[in-house]
Amino acid sequence: MSNICIYDLIACAFWDVYDDIKAARHAEYWFKGGRGSTKSSFISIAIIRGLLANPDANALIYRRVGNTVKDSVFSQMLWAIDRLELTPWFKCKVSPFEIIYKPTDQRIMFRGADDPMKSKSIKLQHGYFEYLWFEELAEFQGMDAVRTIKQSALRGVDRAYTFYSYNPPKSAQNWVNAEALKVRSDRLVHHSTYLDVP
């Protein structure tokens, strides 16, 4: 099993956020930043390490459109597994896209929000979804659509973490920018710029 220190793999701008997640200080983490900000790299590594820390945890990852999953979040999670030197411990499926941690049968599932029926039919053999990630949040139709998915995925779960990652839309009136400005005790908003990948 990998003994790599996660702080060697993530940009220092995310060290405090990782500590915050480990301490379970918030339930929602909003990551805004442009390309090169390494926000997706950080989230993918944090999810893998979180699954390894809790054998009952699973992850569910969303893009607005299902046919963008393969070349974005699915590839990103494979990258994180490789960086953590854990590739032999995982197996992949592509129909539907899924990554399985072989020792415990934990799942990382991928879905598109454009197919509501597939979201409703998600079943886990054991455990629960502790991690939920909405990538490219600004592409989603609005916070109501996101909440509907979230309520379905996290129903009956006592502790879970939702990650939202997005490039800040130019318009201040955009629903993502407006939502991120709302102050909530269970929410942390992190803004990153171009960062060098370790």
Residue 191, pLDDT above cutoff 60: yes
Please state the φ and ψ torsions of residue 195, each to the nearest 5 degrees.
-130, 145
The structure's pTM equals 0.93
Question: Which amino acid, 79?
Answer: W
Identify the band that residue 197 occupies on the pLDDT scale cut at 50, 70 and 90: very low
* Plot region of 147 (φ>0 → left; ψ -120 to 50 → alpha; else → beta): alpha
Question: What is the rounded average pLDDT for all residues in the chain?
Answer: 91
Active-site residue numbers?
136
Instruction: Tell me the per-residue pLDDT of 126-146, one tens digit each, with 9 for 90 and over.
Output: 999 999 999 999 999 899 989
CA–CA gap between residue 48 and residue 100 (Å, rounded): 11
CA–CA gap between residue 43 and residue 136 (Å, rounded): 13
